[in-house]
Amino acid sequence: MLLKIFIVGAIAIGIMAAIKDGRVLRDAGLLSRCSAVSASNRSELSCTKGRLDGFPNLTNQSCELVSASASRQVWRCAAPVVSSQSPNG
């Protein structure tokens, strides 16, 4: 009985860690996703709409909206956009 509780707890912790990471939700199409349009120009991003959060708003990262359609937006940014801040050192 105690072993079953530990197994269910380990599975629950694994599922919570996967959801917190965000990759599972992005792969399922629930969260928005942005990628570079071309390898030579990293300052243009193509973003798809997520079911939960809609399109991302990149105006706070000094980007301007170039084009928009029902399923995709293209943003041009003055500086490269990073997805998360990581400590250096």
- Domain ranges in the chain? 1-30, 32-81
pLDDT confidence tier of residue 89, bands split at 50, 70 and 90: very low
**Tokens read off for 38:** 């071309």
Higher pLDDT, 24 or 39: 24
Alpha helices in 1-89 (DSSP H): 2-21, 23-27
Mean pLDDT, rounded, for 16-44: 79
How, if at all, do strands 33-36 and 72-77 pair? unpaired
pTM across the whole model: 0.62
pLDDT value, residue 86: 53
Identify which of 87, 81, 32, 75 has the alpha carbon closest to the alpha carbon of residue 61.
Answer: 81
Amino acid, res. 38? S
